[in-house]
Copies of this chain bind each other. A is one copy, B any other.
Amino acid sequence: MTATEETQDVPWGDVTPDAARRLMVAAVEAFAERGYHATTTRDIAGRAGMSPAALYIHYKTKEELLHKISTLGHTKAVNILATAADADGTAADRLAQAVRSFVIWHAGHHTTARVVQYELDALDAEHRAEVVQLRRQCDAAVRRILDDGVKSGEFEVPDIPGATLAVLSLCIDVARWFNVQGRRTPDEVGASYADLVLRMVGARPRS
C-alpha cells in the first residue's frame, strides 16, 4: 500500500511548501502500513528523506500531521457531497452524482481514506470535534438530497437518517476493499453504486 495510487495528480498538491507536502505523503504511507501509534515522527521524516529536525519545522507533533490529513480529507468529502447536493437537476441526478464522485474519491485515494477513517480516535479532543463537524456536513448534504427526492415524489424512503447513513457507509467502505489490481475501475464502481443507491431510495435506475 503506497502513495502510487495518487501519482496521477500530485498528492496533497495544495500543501506548501513542498517539504510539508512530502511529509504528509510520507505520514499517510506510514500510518496506513503500520498504524498511527506504531509510527514515529522519525519514521515519517525518514520516508520523506528528511531529518527529524526538518520535520519539526513544519509539524510540531505527529498528531498535527494526522489532524492536517484528516481535515483536508474531510474537507474534500464535504466539497464533493455539497457540490452534488447544490447542483441543478432532479434529486435522482444529484444523488447519482454524489455517490459516483464520493466512490471515485474513496477508490482513488483509498490509502488516505483508510487513515482518515480508521485513526479518528487518535485525534485529540479539539481536533476530533472539528472533524465531527465536517462529518455532520457530509451527512447533511446527502440528507438534503434525500429530503428533496421524497418531497418531489422521486424517492420513497421510510427512514431518511438511516438511509443517509447507509449511503455514506457504502461509499466509505470502498476504501477498505478497493484494490488497484482488481477487476473494477473507480469509475465502474461509481456507476454501479449510483444505480444500487437509487434502488435503495426507491427510485428506478436511470439506465
Contact = CB atoms under 8 A, between A and B. Distances in A.
Nearest to A34: B37
Interface string A188-200: 0100110110011
A201 B199 CA distance: 8
A176 B184 contact: no
Interface in A5-34: 33-34
- The residue in A159, A166, A170, A193 that gathers the most chain B C-beta atoms within 10 A of its C-beta is A166
A35 B39 CA distance: 11
**In the assembly, how many copies of this chain are there?**
2
A177 B164 CA distance: 13
Interface string A51-69: 0000000000000000000
Nearest to A183: B161
Given A38-B35, A38-B38, A159-B192, A173 B169 contact: yes
A38 B122 CA distance: 13
Interface string A156-191: 001100110110011011101100000010000100
Contact of A193 (B35, B166, B196): B166
27 contacts: A34-B35, A34-B37, A34-B38, A35-B35, A35-B37, A37-B37, A37-B38, A38-B38, A117-B176, A118-B118, A158-B195, A159-B192, A162-B189, A165-B177, A166-B170, A166-B192, A166-B193, A166-B196, A169-B170, A169-B174, A169-B176, A170-B170, A172-B173, A172-B176, A173-B173, A199-B201, A199-B202
